[in-house]
Amino acid sequence: MSTTASPVSIDWNAAGEEATRHLQALLRLDTTNPPGNETLAANYLAGALRAEGIEVEIVEATPGRGNLIARLRAANPVARPLMLMGHTDVVSVEREAWSRDPFGGELANGEIWGRGALDMKSQVAAELTVLLLLQRQGVSLDRDLIFAAFADEEAGGQDGAAWIWEHRRELIDAEYAINEGGGGPISLGGERFYLCQAGEKGASRLRITARGVPGHASVPLDDTAMHRLGVALTRLHAWEPPTVLTSPVRLLLESVAEVLGGQTGTAVAAILANPTWEAMAALPLDDDTRRMLRATTRNTAVPTIVHGGHRINVIPSEVILDVDGRILPDEDPHAWRDLVQSVVGDEVEVTLLSEETGIAADPASPLYEAIVATMAELAPGTRVAPYLVSGGTDARHLPGVKVYGFFPTTPGAPVSLYSSLIHGHDERIGVADLAMGTRFLYELVARFCGSAT
């Protein structure tokens, strides 16, 4: 592994412009999932890569759901591969609520607009650009570099990363991977930290079923399925789950305490010894960071969909509530179900819709150290700290790979705005932020995979 970034001179303005063009092209391909049609994006990526002589394969678990895998091979590999991964499917849009065409890829006022501009065609475009730059510069690698653009992440990954891991593992069997989910700068106590995703919660979703006696709605009943569900919902809303510090969050707090010291350091030390939400909420945090910590230091159960009733004049015999449950690493989904059952009471039935626990990658690794060193050069004065994300990514389908989420923006990026735009209206990313992420990935790969000189 090289100890310094690549000495090759690169015109980073031109590289940023190239990444912008690739992102615009990807945004103009409608890969809304469902149905996906990710082969559109896979073909575009393959064309750009093959034009530069890079090895490419497109794999489809289902027709039209293309996954692209590309590889730059090391002449004499001394370690297992590094993978740059992403997904090309996007969530649906409400076109009438957008200020611009969500599939137009427009460049306006220094921003690139479109569904997927943040989640996550921007990172895919940057990863593509990095492979092209490495190939053109003839950078010598000491481990293979894999580029994987998966389908179906937004709907669970069964036609994407999960299928490839099960059926074509040799294509993506890497030691490490860089993924989505981190890289946004936050300010804590006047110091700037870049958060690196070192873990994520698992989706152990629930269904709460309430049953009761049906009847004509003109004759009210006291004990109905609707009433029982209402009571259960009220109890669930009032429930305050215990605060739990996973390894990534503990390391984040330790990093903050080490840098800030003083009263904040003392407060963090007390939290590490006896974690409570009241103490964490009292830290000098902005609202976004406080919400992030609240979501990632507990198991959560958020009601999202209600099913029930078939006529307005009929009291239903059954009403169902679907709950988006997210649990921390090492939590047992069945114990989680039992806990929620005890919270809502025996008048309703709680069942599991999915059974996933959270995952975590050890930040004490050579790749994490390379991330820290690369950011120290690109953004002097900032620090990197691990954290846990409340959502899920394709990382959960790759149990043999150490996955870190990190795609940094510029220090002054509108992180709060970006957070609100992911899966929202008017999604867009700044050209400067795309360029920053592209340069970081290139420098990281050159540092971590480049042969020592």
pLDDT digits (tens, 9 = 90+) for 301-325: 999 999 999 999 999 999 999 999 9
CA–CA separation, 401 and 391 (whole Å): 19
Of the residues 119, 127, 153, 443, which is catalytic? 153
At residue 390, does pLDDT exceed 70? yes
CA–CA separation, 439 and 130 (whole Å): 8
Please count the residues of the chain: 453
Q: Residue 58: beta bridge partners? A: 68
- Confirm if 195 and 184 have CB atoms less than 8 A apart: yes
CA–CA separation, 87 and 41 (whole Å): 10
Phi (first) and psi of residue 181, to 5 degrees: 110, -5
pLDDT of residue 453: 43
pLDDT of residue 452: 55
Give start-end residues of each CATH 3.30.70.360 domain in the chain.
202-352
Predicted TM-score (pTM) of this structure:
0.92
At residue 98, does pLDDT exceed 80? yes
pLDDT of residue 7: 47
Of the residues 18, 38, 89, 106, which is catalytic? 89
Instruction: Name all contacts of 267-270 with Cβ < 8 Å and 24+ positions apart.
Output: none
CA torsion sign for 414, 416, 418, 424 is negative
Fold of 12-181+393-449: Aminopeptidase (3.40.630)
- Confirm if 448 and 370 have CB atoms less than 8 A apart: yes
Taking residues 412-419, what's their average pLDDT?
92
pLDDT of residue 8: 58
Is residue 89 part of the annotated active site? The answer reads yes
- Confirm if 326 and 300 have CB atoms less than 8 A apart: yes
From the list 42, 43, 91, 38, the residue with the least C-alpha distance to 62 is 38
Q: How many CB atoms lie within 10 A of CB 382?
A: 15
From the list 449, 388, 384, the residue with the least C-alpha distance to 84 is 449
pLDDT of residue 6: 45
Taking residues 84-99, what's their average pLDDT?
98
Taking residues 396-414, what's their average pLDDT?
95
148: tokens are 């994987």
Taking residues 76-94, what's their average pLDDT?
97
Taking residues 158-177, what's their average pLDDT?
98
CA–CA separation, 3 and 219 (whole Å): 78
Instruction: Name all contacts of 165-169 with Cβ < 8 Å and 24+ positions apart.
Output: 165/397, 165/398, 165/399, 167/61, 168/59, 168/69
- Confirm if 435 and 12 have CB atoms less than 8 A apart: yes
pLDDT of residue 287: 86
Q: Residue 108: beta bridge partners? A: 111
pLDDT, averaged across the chain: 95
Q: What is the DSSP letter of 24?
A: H
Which stretch of DSSP H or E encloses residue 344? Answer: helix 333-344
Q: Residue 449 carries which side chain, given as an amino acid letter?
A: C
At residue 333, does pLDDT exceed 60? yes
Taking residues 333-360, what's their average pLDDT?
97
CATH of domain 202-352: 3.30.70.360
User: Of the ranges 2-16, 203-217, 243-257, which one carries the lowest mean pLDDT score?
Assistant: 2-16
Give start-end residues of each CATH 3.40.630.10 domain in the chain.
12-181+393-449
pLDDT of residue 270: 95
From the list 140, 101, 130, the residue with the least C-alpha distance to 117 is 101
CA–CA separation, 281 and 286 (whole Å): 10
